[in-house]
Amino acid sequence: MPAISSSAPGKIILCGEHAVVYGQPAIALPITDVQTRCVILAKPNALTQQVLIKDHTFGLDTDLSSLKPEHPIRKTIESVLTELSIDHLPACEVQIHSTIPHSGGLGSSASIAVALTRATANFLGHPLEDIIVNKIAFEIEKLHHRTPSGIDNSVITYAKPVFYMKDTPIELLKLDHPMVLLIADSGIKGSTAKAVELVRKRWKSSPIEYEGFFVEIGGITLKIKRLLQTGDLEEIGELLTYNHQLLKEIGVSLPELDHLVDVAIRSGAYGAKLSGGGLGGNVIALVPPETADQIRSNLLRSGAAHVLVARISPSAGR
């Protein structure tokens, strides 16, 4: 039996994070420059029904049955088996390789869940529909982030830009204009679960103020959605920077993130903001293509650990 493999991209949240947890819309884009690849090799001659897990990113080299029942990898494989009403995986080796930095807001956990779900189902000879892959990946995201909105698993499952609002059908966006985004890693590991918890506490103690922030952020997302069709990058940039100010006010930025946002803007970016949960992780900057390299160098000189240049092409949309 040949090796079965499946890949899934990373992602960034363009706008609307945190507010999306409270029912506001958000927009996320797949980032194909980083990805997870999952390979499953059948071991037909194995003496036992052993399922070996080799996760190169986390240095995991173990038997599936020795993982805790709630371990995301075990849970993902078992969810696929349940979905297909199959009771076990034949002897095999499951390899997971990911180039997506962990805890950086690039969707590493959802990407692993999606790639592993698809590879497992394909290995069993029963490819799953996207809607089912997305459902399984969402359950796995709950193990990682407790109360995720569902945006990460959605954008990664469909590998298309998405306009996402909880409890409404996912809208895949067609981008009509190319965009260049710099993704600058602050080098500080962010915890989405902690950031979401912090916002929840503050929302509980100042509900009116926080509802106001969320509505404002939701309004930014709606405007950006329209501007993505006209390609007015300057206006999109201004709105991204405004979104960052609001994220700062709700308490999920850090001086290091604010600094990278300032550097990007002073270097000529149309706009910049933190992306994802915050309290670390990445800053994204929308930049004119011709100055991308210069702005990237400035970000690296100003403390960014890595800066990825993501060229989002119009064909990225459906």
Q: Compare residues 197 and 235 and give the one whose CB is closer to ligand PMV.
A: 197
Contact 281, 250 (CB under 8 A): no
Contact 213, 250 (CB under 8 A): yes
Size of the site for ligand PMV (CB under 6 A): 17
152 binds ligand PMV (CB under 6 A): yes
**d(C-alpha 76, C-alpha 70), whole Å:** 9
In the shown chain, the binding pattern of residues 261 to 290 toward ligand PMV, with x for contact by CB under 6 A and - for none, equals ---------------xx-------------
Residue 157: Cβ within 10 Å count: 27
Tokens of 94: 């499951």
**How far apart are CB 84 and ligand PMV at their closest, in Å?**
27
**d(C-alpha 79, C-alpha 265), whole Å:** 45
18 binds ligand PMV (CB under 6 A): yes
Query: In the set 76, 111, 192, 253, which binds ligand PMV (CB under 6 A)?
Result: 192
Segment contacting ligand PMV (CB under 6 A): 11-19, 30-38, 171-179, 218-226? 11-19
Residue 7: Cβ within 10 Å count: 18
Q: Compare residues 53 and 284 and give the one whose CB is closer to ligand PMV.
A: 284
162 binds ligand PMV (CB under 6 A): no
248 binds ligand PMV (CB under 6 A): no
Environment class of 216 (CB within 10 Å of its CB; exposed 0-12, middle 13-18, buried 19+): middle
**d(C-alpha 238, C-alpha 114), whole Å:** 33
Q: Which helix (H) or strand (E) holds 8?
A: strand 4-15
**How far apart are CB 182 and ligand PMV at their closest, in Å?**
16
**How far apart are CB 104 and ligand PMV at their closest, in Å?**
8
Binding site for ligand PMV (CB under 6 A): 13, 17-18, 20-21, 105, 107, 145, 148-149, 151-152, 192, 195-196, 276-277
